[in-house]
Amino acid sequence: MKQVLIVDDAATVRMYHRKLLQEAGYGVDEAINGIEAIEKALSKQYDLLVVDVNMPKMNGYAFLREIRSKADLYQAPAIMVSTEAEEKDRQAAFLAGANFYLVKPTKPGELLDSARLLTGGAI
């Protein structure tokens, strides 16, 4: 079973993403900010990261830059999700290390198609 780490400070968003991903066959863990996510990501190997941009303590950009700096340890692909819909936000996500950028509220098909593409399916 492919493992996903959802990183978002909003409980409702985490619950929504968890439900979609679990129903598609993924195992899911959660973190409420970038600091907690780093701790989890360095203690368990994930197949995919689903990361919010705006979070307290450490935002999604800083989290991805930090986790990408540990490339010898960590190569999981990342989907960044945000309410920010401008091109500069998308570019910042890609520069930080995101593989996909989705605007909230994410449509179920968009999230699942992106997850399947990046993980090779939920097997």
In the predicted model, what is the mean pLDDT of the chain? Answer: 93
**Domains in the chain, please, with CATH?**
3-119 (3.40.50.2300)
pLDDT for 55 equals 94
The β-bridge relationship of strands 100-103 and 3-7 is unpaired
pLDDT for 70 equals 80
Q: Is the dihedral of CA 97, 103, 105, 107 positive or negative?
A: negative
The whole-angstrom separation of Cα 70 and Cα 55 is 21
Q: What is the mean pLDDT of residues 77-105?
A: 94
pLDDT band at 62, cuts 50/70/90?
very high
pLDDT for 99 equals 96
In terms of Cα–Cα distance, which of 18, 43, 36 is closest to 115?
Answer: 18
Alpha carbons within 13 A on the beta-carbon side of 65: 10
pLDDT for 74 equals 66
- With a threshold of 0.85, does the pTM exceed it? yes
Q: Which residue has the higher pLDDT, 74 or 25?
A: 25
Write out pLDDT tens, residues 25-49: 999 999 999 999 999 998 999 999 9
Q: What is the mean pLDDT of residues 8-14?
A: 96
